[in-house]
Amino acid sequence: MLDCARFFHVLSVAGINFFTGVPDSLLKSFCAYLAEQVPRERHVAAANEGGALALAAGHYLATGEPALVYMQNSGLGNAVNPLTSLVDPLVYSIPALLLIGWRGEPGRKDEPQHARQGQITPELLTTLRVRHALLPREEDAAEMLLREAAAHLREQREPFALLVRRGTFEPYALGDCSPVAAELTREEAVQLVLSQLDTDDVVVATTGGTSRELFEYRAALQQGHQRDFLTVGSMGHASQIALGVALARPQRRVYCLDGDGALLMHLGGLAVIGERAPKNLRHIVLNNFAHDSVGGQPTAAVGLDIPGAARACGYRTALRASDRAGAGSALEALGDAVGPALLEIRVKKGARGNLGRPTTTPVENKKAFMRFLAGNSGEGE
């Protein structure tokens, strides 16, 4: 496996000294190293992968030096536009080294949301005309490939991608970097939200631990899962899924369980919700200031007034809570409010180690949710 410090040193020798991207579980050790060891002016955790590539382009324009952009392969979707219309040799011809976690790699068991992207990742990079190679786990071979990639960046002035398999980097633990104290865990906050819901209310939950905690709590209560849409992929899009449901079913209260990293990824969704102004939409942001499910690296939410942003975008109500009593009172107010309404609940980082995953498939979840929305409760689904 690759030592993070040595890998970083080789990158520096190759002239790569600016780092940006969206963390991934396969890259979490290296991302943790960057978060702790690299000065803020040389490392930016971006809102989304397309923005990270634009940051890398800006760095190159100012310095003439390429940057490293890290991402999960699902993030290639966000990066396609700048890859084809900004850094491509037919446009501005800007080099960048892409470090891509290869989730859903063929032959390896992974979650369903990674299946298609895992299959097509090399093909997609080929279609985008991005030269790519598998990053070796052996130090000497990896250093040789990095020198080859650096030469390609200098000579061709175009991106080069390194695909990273599970277990490529040696473990590097990120220290506690939580900027605020919180009383509730995210799981406790999810349970508190569910305790306030009526039987006809529906939930759209963001990707990661939130959906898993929601699924397990419904199972513990023996309630069934038909009221919940679990957004297992498509990070950042849960609020717009919830908006689509709320507009089509105005008689239903729709609760969106979001996260700070997901909210930041497509922050413009707040403006769309505010402009459409669905009275039945309640937007709950569980904010632990971290990309929790992929290593706990900090997000830019530490500097964001989330309720203030929501109010500026047209939300009728926007609240914040940091403890159980405050969250309970705010949830009661949210239930009675005319939407769109938002509640930021600040929660602790982390999840319990034995947290399971949904036992239903995404298609089964979709069908049960649609039947419930259509009026068939589907109890026991």
Q: Tell me what pLDDT residue 178 has.
A: 66
Residue 381 pLDDT class (50, 70, 90 cuts): very low
Average pLDDT, stretch 185-205? 94
Q: Give the contacts of 63 (CB within 8 A, at least 6 positions apart).
A: 18
Tell me: pLDDT of 111 over 70. Answer: yes
| 4-164 topology per CATH | Rossmann fold (3.40.50)
Domain boundaries defined on the chain: 4-164, 186-374
Average pLDDT, stretch 168-177? 84
Bridge-based pairing of strands 68-72 and 97-101 is: parallel
Residue 52 pLDDT class (50, 70, 90 cuts): very high
Q: Would the CATH topology of 4-164 be identical to that of 186-374?
A: yes
Residue 312 pLDDT class (50, 70, 90 cuts): very high
Q: Give the contacts of 215 (CB within 8 A, at least 6 positions apart).
A: 225, 228, 230, 356, 357, 358, 359
DSSP H/E element including 119: helix 115-127
The CA distance from 107 to 37, in Å, is 35
Q: What sign has the CA pseudo-torsion 136, 140, 143, 149?
A: negative
Answer yes or no: pTM beyond 0.85: yes
Q: Where does residue 85 rank: exposed (0-12), middle (13-18), buried (19+ CB within 10 A)?
A: exposed
DSSP assignment of 206-272 equals: -TTHHHHHHHHHHHHHT--STTEEE--SSTT-HHHHHHHHHHH-TTS-EEEEEEHHHHHHTTTHHHH
For 186-374, which CATH class?
alpha beta
**Is 190 strand, coil or helix?**
helix
Bridge-based pairing of strands 19-21 and 228-230 is: unpaired
pLDDT digits (tens, 9 = 90+) for 245-301: 999 999 999 999 999 999 999 999 999 999 999 999 999 999 998 887 776 788 888
Q: Where does residue 123 rank: exposed (0-12), middle (13-18), buried (19+ CB within 10 A)?
A: exposed
* Amino acid, res. 41: E
Tell me: pLDDT of 303 over 60. Answer: yes
Average pLDDT, stretch 167-185? 83
E strand intervals along the chain:
19-21, 43-45, 68-72, 97-101, 131-134, 160-164, 202-205, 228-230, 254-259, 281-287, 290-291, 297-298, 317-321, 341-346
Bridge-based pairing of strands 297-298 and 290-291 is: antiparallel
The CA distance from 211 to 232, in Å, is 7
Q: Specify the range with the lowest mean pLDDT, choosing from 66-70, 319-323, 357-361.
A: 357-361
Average pLDDT, stretch 157-183? 87
Q: Tell me what pLDDT residue 323 has.
A: 92
Tokens describing residue 140: 């000497």
More confident site: 359 or 379:
359
| Helices H / strands E in the chain, number of each | 14, 14
- The whole-chain average pLDDT of the chain stands at 92
